[in-house]
Amino acid sequence: MRKIFAKCASLDARCRSEYGLTEDIMMENAAAALEAEVRRFLSAQPNGMQPCGTQPNSTQPCSGQLQSLKTQPCGGQLQSLKTLPCGGQSCGAADVLIVTGSGNNGADGWALARRLTGTCIPAIYPVKEPASAQCIAQAARAEKSGVRVVRTIVPCRVLVECISGSGFSGKPAPETEALLTELNGTNAYRIACDVPCGVDGRGTVNGTAFNADVTVTMGALKTALVSDEAKDHIGSIIVADLGIGRARYENTATDAHTGAGVLPGTSDAAGAQSRDAVPDAPAAPDSAEAPAAPFSVPEPELFLLERGDVRLPLRTGRNTWKNAFGHCAVFSGEKDGASILAASAALAFGAGLATLVQTLKRPVRCPPSIMYGETLPESTTALLAGPGLGAGTESAVTHIAARPELPCVLDADMLRHPALKTLLENRRAGCVVTPHPGELRALLERCGFGEPSAEDIRKHRIELLRAFCARYPNVTLVSKGANTFVADAQRISVFTGGTGALSKAGSGDVLAGLICALLAQGYAPREAAETAVFVHGTAGARATEPGGVASYGLIPELLIEAVRTFRAERANV
């Protein structure tokens, strides 16, 4: 699992103190990481990295009267400077437009412009004049290198946003919102430096935010990048280094001097620095022994769920039988379709048997692969209650309360029941709860956390998950959303690979069935939840790849089929 940090300031400071990396070195690496992505994109374009004309030095408009994107004949859909009537030599156009703030994030932009000069045409649009020491120094160097400063958003092929990074908080000022709206309206390839402007340190968006195609974040993954709200603004993520390997950079207080914490399968990109403002620490001589860090190095706040964290319920033995793979009992109520989907998912993910336990006396349209009855089978190894229960919820509560030794999954209607708190307190075996945001509010209220509002969930989701798991250490909480969090008393992990295709009735029932299947097969609750969340989200994404269904066409039955044919070696996320 990759580590995710709330802030990286103390990690930066430790690198300066222990490894002798000056802030200048770190910033040069940050600019190099941005440069690598700019060059990667431009090299793939028809005109490649060839300079599109000489540096413009005239303020006279070209024949097309191109003063800004708003007045372009192409309506902002510029692919190359050579498409302009003037070839980009007098209308102010640039290959790369870099929009800078006044702090260290802006300094990265000035350094990037300097590095690009000579091989393409960069331009700087300063939102504010340089104010931090690094920004002032980098601006002076860039200007000496001939970097051009513009005072309007000019046509460009690549747009790099270096306004605020991880230092943003609150709501953008009206003039910043207007600028971000204009930037988002360009047809350029958009790169955000560290964290898109408008996304705060907790990933909250309180107005307009920059929409990036890719975010080059510095040093390590940050909490701001894994919120639901940030998901539509960050694009893909590149983690750039500080000039030292990422695994070494991420070593925390307990492993900074031992080399522990070096994660298997890590790879390093060039570049980087945190956006948190930290005063320069004196550089240690190359021959000096690294001193112990005189400051607190934070533990990661979250962990990113990846392919290597998944253990599929593969069958390797030959001398076996169905009961060896567990028996899922799924309580069926008013809407039996939901429980049938859950039971079908459990069978698709390796459970040996699945039974619908009827809570209401009514006919059940059960497929032949799923058994049904009014009592709990003696061979049951895991329980699932919630999907479609309705009026049957009371009966399910009675059954579950009578079997505290069985692991269980609680979803949907079960999370709103008045007896929920008592059920969770009395569980002896593992329990996994799987709320969506509205159900999470109900769950927290039922379990004694007051009456959290939707705004509380939006802004303080991680803190609420941590508080819940501290009070209920035997419960694993799966908080569903655009990004899904898996929390227990030991850690919180997050899966970011889900897509909007999963926003369909029945998707949650499938996830609950997958978790129940793994519990029935003997998985520990957290491992069951993390594996199921990863497979559920990845299978859904694969089902809508080219050649699959449209993004709007993923129904639960197709999702179950994608799980049935899942192959971990293709899970490149």
Annotated ligand binding at 484? The verdict is yes
436 is in an annotated binding site: yes
- 233-274 pLDDT, tens digit each: 999 999 999 899 998 999 865 454 333 333 333 333 433 334
The one-letter amino acid code at 303 reads: F
Q: What per-residue confidence (pLDDT) applies to 242?
A: 86
Read off the DSSP letter of residue 408. E
Asked if residue 78 has pLDDT above 70, the reply is: no
Q: How far is CA 72 from CA 81, 154, 201, 524, in A?
A: 12, 9, 36, 60
Query: Is 517 annotated as contributing to ligand binding?
Result: no
Asked if residue 320 belongs to a known ligand binding site, the reply is: no
Residue 66 has pLDDT above 60, yes or no: no
- Length of the chain, in residues: 573
pLDDT digit string, tens, across residues 425-480: 999 889 999 999 999 999 999 999 999 999 999 999 999 999 999 999 999 999 99
508 is in an annotated binding site: yes
Give 314-364 pLDDT, tens digit per residue: 999 999 999 999 999 999 999 999 999 999 999 999 999 999 999 998 888
First and final C-alpha spacing in the chain: 12
Residue with the larger pLDDT of the pair 253 and 535: 535
Sketch out the chain's domains with CATH numbers: 2-43+93-248 (3.40.50.10260), 304-565 (3.40.1190.20)
Give the phi and the psi of residue 208 in degrees, each rounded to 5.
Answer: -85, 140
Q: How many angstroms separate the CA atoms of 444 and 465, rounded?
A: 9
What is the model's pLDDT at position 90? 44
User: Tokens 């690979």 — which residue?
Assistant: 497
Q: Is 543's pLDDT higher than 90?
A: yes
Question: Average pLDDT, whole number, for the chain?
Answer: 86
- φ/ψ of 309, rounded to 5, equals -90, 0
Compute how many other C-beta atoms are within 10 angstroms of the C-beta atom of residue 368: 5
Written in H, E and C, the secondary structure of 313-363 is CCCCCCCCCHHHHCEEEEEECCCHHHHHHHHHHHHHCCCCEEEEEECCCCC
Which contiguous run of DSSP H or E holds residue 372?
strand 371-373
C-alpha span between 391 and 198 (Å, rounded): 45
Among 503, 506, 499, CA closest to 543: 499
Is the pLDDT assigned to residue 563 strictly greater than 60?
A: yes
Say whether 417 counts as a known binding-site residue: no
Phi, psi of 433 (to 5 degrees): -110, 140
Q: Does 481 show up as a binding residue in the annotation?
A: yes
509 labeled binding residue: yes
CA 302-22-129 angle, to 5 degrees, is 85
Sequence-separated (6 or more) residues with CB below 8 Å from residue 569? none
Answer for the pair 545, 554: CB distance below 8 angstroms, yes or no: no
